Amino acid sequence: MTGADTNADAALVALDWGTTALRAYLLGGDGAVLDTRASAAGIMNLPAGGFDEAFDETCGAWLAGNAQLPVIAAGMVGSAQGWLEAPYIETPADAPALVNGIVKVKAANGATVHIVPGVLQAGAMPNVMRGEETQIFGALAGDAALESEPHGALIGLPGTHAKWAFVFGGRIERFYTFMTGETFGALRDHTILGRTMRANDQHDAEAFVRGVDTAKDAGHAGLLATIFSTRTLGLTGQLAPEQQPDYLSGLLIGHELRGLNEVLVREHSTLAGKTLRLIGNDALCERYRAALARFGCHDTKTVAQATERGLFRIAAQAGLVTSAARTS
């Protein structure tokens, strides 16, 4: 939907502005998505000082004649390399704390952009997120099953740097970052493991699950040991070249879940039987759901529209939109 009718209902411009992409949503007073834009204008792809131009190119038409339309943004746009740094707030982090940490930048086209801060878990093993906190608050909205989990809700965000967050009483208590996606790429493209692989357009579910099971059942020696089996299973004729990428993907995701399960075990819980939610692209979440099932975890729905719902929810909490927030 585009045009005059759409803009008349518009209540918020919401931006998911990350490292490699900018996704923009025009939202109505009830949080409904009226229009969307996507561009490759992630913060790493911009020339110095290029934020204003990228913002205007993407959202200028929505704001034309309505420069007072509130704008909210989350993600790396608030990092030290972003448009304006929004210093991290520390865990435990709830929505009011995120609202308090918002920084404002005045765009050249007259709009005021409200940038949501990221979250820092301080300590000897610090962790940081930017953008995921907003998705997490979007996922929580109205999910009764999740909020009633006795040990708090567990939310996974697969990706280049996968996050697993423990949320309790509306607060992000703590979280882990697994460099699963990026490590997969580095191993495939820059080690001997890639040399015997052949790319495969089709997802090989059997090879993937075999990798997951190897990490789960024989992963005690650790990832540095198990990954070599990608090569040796090939050398011994047990894994075809086109199966090796999905096997390695399964191995790495399996090690991530093995590690997550180890964290849970130390809290007298396990992945088996747990209720959790995933946020991310459908194909990747589907891989995680298949992998989680091998760990006995079957209640693993993927949350749709977590980003835009989270941005709307934080904007509502900040008083940027006056209509009732959409909660389901």
Q: Which of 172, 187, 320, 321 binds a second copy (CB under 8 A)?
A: 187
* CA distance linking residue 32 with residue 1, whole number of Å: 12
Rounding to the nearest 10 degrees, give the CA dihedral for residues 252, 257, 263, 265.
-130
101-104, long-range: CB < 8 A, 24+ apart: 102/318, 103/78
Q: Is 249 in the site for a second copy (CB under 8 A)?
A: no
Q: Is 244 in the site for a second copy (CB under 8 A)?
A: no
Q: Is 179 in the site for a second copy (CB under 8 A)?
A: yes
CB proximity list for 62: less than 8 A, separation 6 or greater: 7, 10, 13, 24, 26, 35, 69
Closer Cβ to a second copy, 31 or 78, answer by number: 78
Q: Which of 21, 61, 97, 128 binds a second copy (CB under 8 A)?
A: 128
Q: Is 67 in the site for a second copy (CB under 8 A)?
A: no
**How would you classify residue 221: left for phi > 0, otherwise alpha for psi between -120 and 50, otherwise beta?**
alpha
* CA distance linking residue 291 with residue 145, whole number of Å: 21
Restricted to residues 96-125, the positions that interact with a second copy (CB under 8 A) are 120, 122, 124-125
Interface region with a second copy, contact rule CB under 8 A, candidates 25-33, 147-155, 234-242, 270-278? 234-242
Which stretches within 191-235 are classed as H helix? 205-218, 223-226, 229-235
Token pair belonging to 5: 């009718």
Q: Is 268 in the site for a second copy (CB under 8 A)?
A: no
Cβ 245 to a second copy shortest distance, Å: 16
Restricted to residues 22-41, the positions that interact with a second copy (CB under 8 A) are none
Residues that bind a second copy (CB under 8 A): 120, 122, 124-128, 161, 176-180, 182-183, 185-187, 189-193, 214, 218, 220-229, 232-233, 235-236, 238, 252, 255-256, 258-260, 262-263, 266
